[in-house]
A = this chain, B = another copy of it.
Amino acid sequence: MARRAPRHAEAERNDQALLEAAKKVLAVDGAHASVATIAARAGVGIASLYRRYRSKDELFQHLCALSLDQWIEAAERGLQHDDPWEGLTHYISACIEFSGGSLGPLAGTIAITDEMAAKFTRSDELMRDLVAHAHAAGVLRPDATAMDISLLIEQLGKSPLIEQLDRQGRTDLTDAAHNARKRTVAIALDGLRSGHPQLPGTAPTPALLAERWEPAPTNSTRSPGRS
């Protein structure tokens, strides 16, 4: 073919760097992460970001889709385990580990694409299967529902300590912080095993997690989303 890709390899590398940078910056700065920060962290110019994505929102949507892929893959791996408990705990640990609290801050700030909705549904199904298997095997406490576990994952995925250390550039402490969170996760997982007193209140309804991604209903100061 004729001229096709003078610097195609570099473009590919930059795209990858942008996505990784966006994820980290999003975890650190929250929903108000700026494109300038993301581009700087990726080591590329701002224009390189806008050449790939038409807007900041589009970048975040793509990032969400990729994260959902990770969730789906983690669930599929978990379902392949022979031991239902191992499968569930590996899924939970994996989600907490790689999520980095990326999606949480985004909830409600970006529109949900059809692609995202489909992947979310698939992820949810797989997750319910995982929980059902663990319940059937009697290793997971019967009163803990899939919703409980989803909330647990979200709660532990976003670590204030890790985020702040990252923000301050204390790379010398991040290992210790991650180790500390592993212990917190281990404690929570032990609490999920069978043989504990009944959980308080009633199980949370799926609406709690579903509706949070709905477009912000009465949000006052939002620029009209184009597209």
Q: Which residues of A contact B (CB under 8 A)?
A: 28-30, 32, 36-37, 40-41, 101, 104-105, 107-108, 141, 144, 147-148, 151-152, 154-156, 158-161, 164-165, 167-170, 173, 176-177, 179-184, 186-192, 196-197, 199-205, 207-209, 211-212, 216-221, 223-225, 227
Contacts and interface: CB of A to CB of B under 8 A. Distances in A.
A201 B187 contact: no
A146 to B, nearest CB: 12
A154 to B, nearest CB: 6
B168 A219 contact: yes
Given A190-B197, A196-B190, A183 B168 contact: no
Contact of A191 (B151, B159, B167, B190): B190
Nearest to A25: B224
Nearest to A178: B201
| Residue from A154, A200, A217, A224 with most neighbouring chain B CB atoms (10 Å) | A224
Contact of A161 (B28, B190, B212): B212
Contact of A168 (B203, B216, B224): B216
A138 B217 CA distance: 50
24 contacts: A28-B221, A37-B221, A40-B223, A104-B160, A107-B164, A148-B184, A148-B187, A152-B184, A158-B158, A158-B160, A168-B212, A168-B216, A169-B217, A169-B220, A173-B207, A173-B211, A179-B204, A180-B204, A182-B201, A186-B191, A187-B192, A188-B191, A190-B190, A190-B196
Contacts of A101: 160
Contacts of A107: 160, 164
Contacts of A36: 224
Mostly helix, strand, loop or mixed at chain A's interface? Answer: helix
B186 A151 contact: no
Contact of A148 (B158, B180, B202): B180
A211 B154 contact: no
Nearest to A29: B221
